[in-house]
A and B are shown apart, each in its own frame.
Chain A
Amino acid sequence: MRASVAAEKAGVPAVSIIAAPFLELARAAAKGLGVTEPSIAAYPGRPMIDTDDELREKVKNSLVPQILAGWSERVSGASGTRRPDEPRPRDVVFSGSFQQVQDYFDDQLWSDGLPVAPPTVASVEEFLRYTDRQADEIVGVCPPESREATIWNIAVNGVMAGCRPEYMPVLIAVVEAILDPEFLLEDAGATPGWEPLIILNGPIIKELNFNHGTGVMRVGRRANTSVGRFLRLFMRNVAGQRIPPGVTDKATIGYTFNVVLAEDEDAVRELGWEPYSVDRGFARGENVVTVQSCVSITPPTYSSGSDALNHVQIMSEVIGQGFAYWAYTSMRHRRWYPVIVMSPSVAKAIADDGWNKDDIRKYLYENTRMQAGLAEKYARNTALNDFDLKDMVARGVLPPEYHESDDPQRLIRVFYKSEWIHFVVAGDPGRSQARGYVQSHRHGVPVSRRIGLPSNWRQLIESSDERCSLSG
């Protein structure tokens, strides 16, 4: 809808062709952009599964009349109904028991299906103690509903997600990351159903008692779990991405939120490697969040022995093939940032054999391959019916190596650029396992932000519950 709204702004009447199952999403997106009565021609059904004859019939008899009506049957200057007045931040919108609050929030679509901690003014103000920023500061505007993200509503959703108040600096940095225009938050409701993945580095991991060891990606530790939950809740409430009965989250199947992936920085230091945040351009010891999309997770991949090559070969065979299905998206968009999580013992075996992260990257880049014909088949079956490696090479979109012959069984790279592959060391040090986290291409590219701490952070942390202290 963005192009159509841009045309309307330029004074040119625009009609958007939208497949019927996506009409409500389109209207909601247009409303977020300021157009409450967009001109839409609805394609009846699903174009990707219609026969050529069905498509022809629907275009001529349904789409074209709607397109003409969309241009001619409109009231010049009209923009639809005005928005109703909405509450101010400190307005009490409901009073009731714990259970009544749950029911009310469920009815309003303000919950994620789990019980929420009731966001009272006092509980929100407790969170505000952990930032020097003003409650009414606008951090940014969240598409698709175009609602303002403020320090206040970050705290409200943090309360609801079950966070402790001292997580507030992390919550703010997470929201700053997803509001970077590069992240494309407006596309977080796309059909692949990607989830944001938060990667955390710095001394704050210990200060706030994040888990970086056994079961690092399981629910069970309050810091990892509640901050992960917060982000999904914030995306529902402030960005407006809600599954039915909401209309803006069109994840075909989707999966549940990720808990925070905190790196085992002690293990990284012992290897002589740098933490992930340094790979992202920050100094060692800085508190940094990185948020990126994740469409799927590869199988747990075991490897053993002291030979680095054995570990990396198995990574290429199993994790690499887990990435292969989605590789066509990198050829289409030329953006793709796979993350491989290694348990400390895998990383140690590789490092002890003299390999560094660049060596692993190079191996995976050179050796992880797939059949070209499969990449084309997978792309065309998604929606890219014109996806043709030969054509893309001819147009200079892809390098020549992607079309060295017409043999559909020729092997091409799975990883588009070696420097886009990243590693995080975390998990049980007692077991040798790795897993891949498949990033979604240009949607949800990794964005990192420094975590800003209040001037009295040390004092606040030392006076907080010992469960969150350094000694914990």
Chain B
Amino acid sequence: MSASEGASRGPVFDVVWPLGRVASKEVPLAPALPDLNGKTVCELWDWLFRGDQMYPLINEELRRRFPDIRIVGHETMGNMHGTHGRAYVANLAELLRQHGADAVIAAVGA
């Protein structure tokens, strides 16, 4: 024990930090997208927590507000979760490029 003795309160311990340095690098946010007319939204789903019920409602509202919007649904984008989730994320940039994505919704976290 590398503790020094205090005069009245017993040994004093000089202790070190139990955590580790954060290794991740900061990721800048993508540019803002104020107008969705003529833009393509890709919808990702993890097949959990009623996303299949949420997306039709979201799409209805998006199309009402932005008549020229193009939506690529989760049925086309595939399951982003599960056994192949890591590979899916690794390939996502290419998948978004193939579909001409301008914006993404990812659901549902709970």
Q: Which residues of A contact B (CB under 8 A)?
A: 1-19, 21-22, 25-26, 32-37, 39, 41, 43, 46-48, 52, 55-56, 59-60, 63-64, 67-68, 71-80, 82-83, 86-87, 89-98, 101, 104-105, 110, 118-124, 138, 141-142, 145-150, 153, 156-157, 160, 181, 233, 237-238, 332-335, 383-386, 442
Contact = CB atoms under 8 A, between A and B. Distances in A.
A12 B23 contact: no
A36 to B, nearest CB: 7
Contacts of B24: 32-34, 141, 146
A146 B22 contact: yes
A121 B16 CA distance: 7
A11 B30 contact: yes
Contacts of A26: 109
A50 B90 CA distance: 33
Given A59-B57, A71-B36, A48 B49 contact: yes
Contacts of B2: 120-123
B105 to A, nearest CB: 6
Among the interface residues B25, B42, B62, B103, which one has the most CB atoms of the partner chain A within 10 A? B103
A148 B109 contact: no
For the complex, would chain B's binding face be called helix, strand, loop or mixed by DSSP majority? mixed
Contacts of B11: 97-98
18 contacts: A6-B92, A13-B31, A13-B103, A15-B106, A18-B108, A19-B108, A34-B25, A60-B57, A82-B26, A98-B10, A98-B11, A123-B2, A124-B16, A141-B23, A147-B20, A149-B20, A156-B18, A383-B49
Interface residues of B, number: 68
B103 A96 contact: no
Interface in B60-99: 61-62, 65, 80, 82-83, 85-86, 88-90, 92-93, 96-97
B109 A22 contact: yes
B110 A3 contact: no
A86 B22 CA distance: 9
Contact of B52 (A78, A142, A386): A386
Contacts of A22: 109-110
Nearest to A142: B20
Contact of B20 (A68, A71, A74, A148): A148
Given A13-B104, A19-B109, A384-B47, A71 B32 contact: yes
